[in-house]
Amino acid sequence: MKTACTQVSLKDRRKIEEWWHAKVPVREMARVLKRHKSTIHSDIKPNFWADAFLSVD
């Protein structure tokens, strides 16, 4: 039986962003947030490119 997909909350997204900049491994983020690592990756991936383009001045 599959489990229902739930969205990552804004609070968790902020944590993921902080941890990403602090170079925390995705596996550790997933363990702490009790999410699958692919969920963390899918949240980081779109935001990563947006940050890369925004930081270029």
- φ/ψ (deg, to 5) at 56: -80, 120
Beta-carbon contacts of 26 under 8 Å, excluding residues fewer than 6 positions away, are: 37, 40, 41, 44
Query: Per-residue pLDDT tens for 1-45?
Result: 566 667 888 899 999 989 998 999 999 999 999 999 999 988 887
C-alpha to C-alpha distance for 49 and 51, rounded to whole angstroms: 5
Domain ranges of the chain: 19-54
Confirm whether pTM is higher than 0.75: no
pLDDT confidence of residue 42: 86
Burial class (CB in 10 A: 0-12, 13-18, 19+), 33: middle
